[in-house]
């Protein structure tokens, strides 16, 4: 009996050890390589934090040296995941997982007058276009060719703080980083009103289809944007090696989509791309089969299920398409004009904060600011405004101004107490 119990105990230990060993083998270890630029660095760390909370994933962060070098690391097998620009040169061994957010091209230049000609902007100037191998560096060289710039007349420098022109793809410029840019202007690729009607930005994107025109709304960057700016954007995409398991990438994609709000706290621009409805046909790298299975949920597509009905509806609506498009454009323009008015009002409040002399004046401005927000929400509910990037930037600006008013109120209250004691 003792021998039998001992045998069963040993057998149970062996079985349990085999089970635990098997579970350990199921953990997928991913090495995430990223560039130090923000918000890519923050997003990479957030991806690590999200995946490390799951039992089936273990991650390691590796600092890379630009999109080209990071892709090489994937191809060599020294990394598994990376965040790169959607216009990075294609290789069949790399697959996309999801689009994270649009990176906006900012071209800052020093000039007393507005420059509208690109060749005039860059020739005989010192210009910073990012480190070699970065997305900005590659694209700016493409632009030099596109605009037939004499490259011998362009002085490319390595120091971003010692240049006449600064170029970079990135997130929205933070408020703190606007300090010191008072002498700069933001270059626009033509008149915003031309967008959708043959603008130069559209011509660039026709040449480079992975890119897209992007309008930075009026007042977004205070003095840098007295008027809307037409520029270029490229999506930052999470990519992986082709040979990573489909099941693992399926789970990874599901987890990241289910935690998408974690990324919107890093950059409001992730509201635009990080959805399950993103157009993966525009990705420069083919979608990984694991990500595709999650996005499509292995169900027949909409057009497959309703092909006949769509044909009938399309026939009925075809005659009215032109009128609907015209009406939609008109409504969009009206909404854009309305949000510009709200920008102007709260910017006026912000510029007057330092002139407020008493807590009662501050409270009055706080009330005025909140009333402006209420009006904006009423228009949003009535569908007279759109909850697009312009509105989200407006809300961020509103929150910043409210915090400034509260700090001013605290300072003035303290000053009154001090005077009372004296």
Query: How confident is the model at residue 277, as a pLDDT?
Result: 56
0.75 exceeded by pTM? no
Is the backbone peptide bond immediately before 113 cis, with ω within 30 degrees of 0? no
Give mean pLDDT, residues 114-119.
93
Mean pLDDT of the chain: 82
Higher pLDDT, 385 or 405: 405
Residues near 403 by beta carbon (within 8 Å), at least 6 away in sequence: none
> Residue 106: which pLDDT band, with cuts at 50, 70 and 90?
very high
Question: What are the pLDDT digits (tens) for 175-220?
Answer: 878 887 888 899 999 888 888 888 999 999 999 988 999 999 998 8
pLDDT of residue 19: 44
Each residue's pLDDT tens digit, 282-320: 788 888 999 888 888 754 455 555 566 677 677 777 767
Give the integer Cα–Cα distance in Å for 220 and 203. 25
Residue 3: band (very low, low, confident or very high) from pLDDT cuts 50, 70, 90:
very low
333-337 contacts, C-beta under 8 A, 24 or more apart: 334/384, 335/384, 335/385, 335/386, 336/217, 336/390
**Does residue 275 surpass a pLDDT of 70?**
no
Least confident segment among 80-84, 252-256, 413-417: 413-417
Query: What angle do the packed helices 321-351 and 389-421 form, to 10 degrees?
Result: 10
Region for residue 209 given its phi and psi (left: phi exceeds 0; alpha: psi -120 to 50; beta: otherwise): alpha
Binning pLDDT at 50, 70 and 90, where does residue 341 land? Answer: confident
Tell me which residue of 39, 185, 210, 175 sits closest to 112, measured CA to CA.
185
Judge whether residue 17 has pLDDT over 50: no
Angle at the Cα of 263 (from 89 to 223), degrees rounded to 5?
85
pLDDT recorded at residue 215 = 93
Q: Is the pLDDT higher at 19 or at 36?
A: 36
Mean pLDDT of the 27-47 span: 84
- Work out the average pLDDT over 6-31: 56
Tokens describing residue 378: 């009423």
Distance CA 83, CA 287 (A): 14
Q: What is the pLDDT of residue 155?
A: 95
pLDDT at 2: 45
- pLDDT of 256 over the 60 cut: yes
Task: Label residue 117 left, alpha or beta by phi (over 0 means left) and psi (-120 to 50 means alpha).
Answer: beta
- Sign of the four-CA dihedral 284, 288, 294, 296: positive
pLDDT reading at 62 higher than 80: yes
């Amino acid at each position: 009996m003792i021998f039998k119990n001992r045998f069963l105990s040993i057998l149970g230990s062996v079985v349990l050890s085999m089970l635990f060993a098997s579970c350990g083998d199921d953990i997928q270890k991913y090495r995430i390589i990223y560039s130090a630029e923000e918000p890519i660095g923050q997003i990479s760390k957030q991806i690590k934090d999200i995946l490390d909370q799951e039992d089936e994933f273990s991650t390691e962060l590796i600092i890379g040296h630009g999109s080209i070098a990071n892709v090489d690391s994937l191809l060599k097998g020294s990394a598994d995941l990376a965040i790169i620009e959607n216009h990075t040169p294609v290789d069949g061994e790399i697959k996309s997982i999801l689009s994270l957010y649009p990176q906006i091209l900012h071209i800052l230049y020093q000039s007393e007058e507005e420059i509208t000609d690109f060749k005039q902007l860059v020739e005989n100037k010192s210009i910073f276009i990012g480190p070699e191998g970065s997305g900005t560096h590659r694209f700016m060289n493409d632009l030099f060719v596109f605009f037939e710039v004499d490259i011998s007349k362009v002085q490319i420098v390595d120091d971003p703080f010692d240049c006449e022109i600064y170029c970079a793809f990135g997130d929205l410029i933070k408020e703190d980083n606007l300090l010191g840019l008072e002498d700069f202007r933001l270059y626009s690729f033509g008149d915003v009103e031309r967008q959708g009607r043959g603008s130069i930005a559209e011509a660039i994107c026709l040449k480079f289809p992975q890119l897209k025109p992007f309008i930075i709304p009026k007042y977004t960057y205070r003095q840098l944007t007295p008027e809307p700016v037409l520029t270029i954007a490229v999506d930052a995409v999470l990519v992986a090696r082709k040979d990573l398991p489909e099941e693992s990438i399926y789970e990874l994609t599901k987890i990241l989509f289910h935690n998408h709000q974690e990324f919107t706290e890093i950059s409001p621009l992730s509201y635009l791309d990080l959805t399950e409805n993103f157009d993966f046909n525009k990705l420069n790298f083919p979608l990984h089969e694991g990500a595709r299975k999650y996005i499509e949920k292995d169900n027949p597509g909409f057009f497959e299920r309703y092909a006949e009905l769509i044909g009938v509806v399309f026939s009925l609506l075809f005659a009215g398409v032109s009128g609907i498009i015209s009406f939609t454009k008109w409504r969009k323009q009206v909404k854009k004009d309305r949000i510009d008015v709200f920008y102007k009002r709260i910017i006026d409040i912000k510029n007057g904060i330092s002139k407020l002399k008493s807590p009662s004046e501050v409270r009055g401005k706080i009330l005025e600011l909140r009333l402006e927000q209420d009006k904006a929400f009423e228009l949003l509910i009535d569908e007279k405004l759109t909850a697009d990037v312009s509105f989200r930037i407006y809300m961020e600006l509103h929150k910043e101004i409210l915090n400034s008013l509260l700090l001013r109120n605290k300072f003035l209250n303290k000053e009154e107490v001090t005077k009372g004691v004296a």
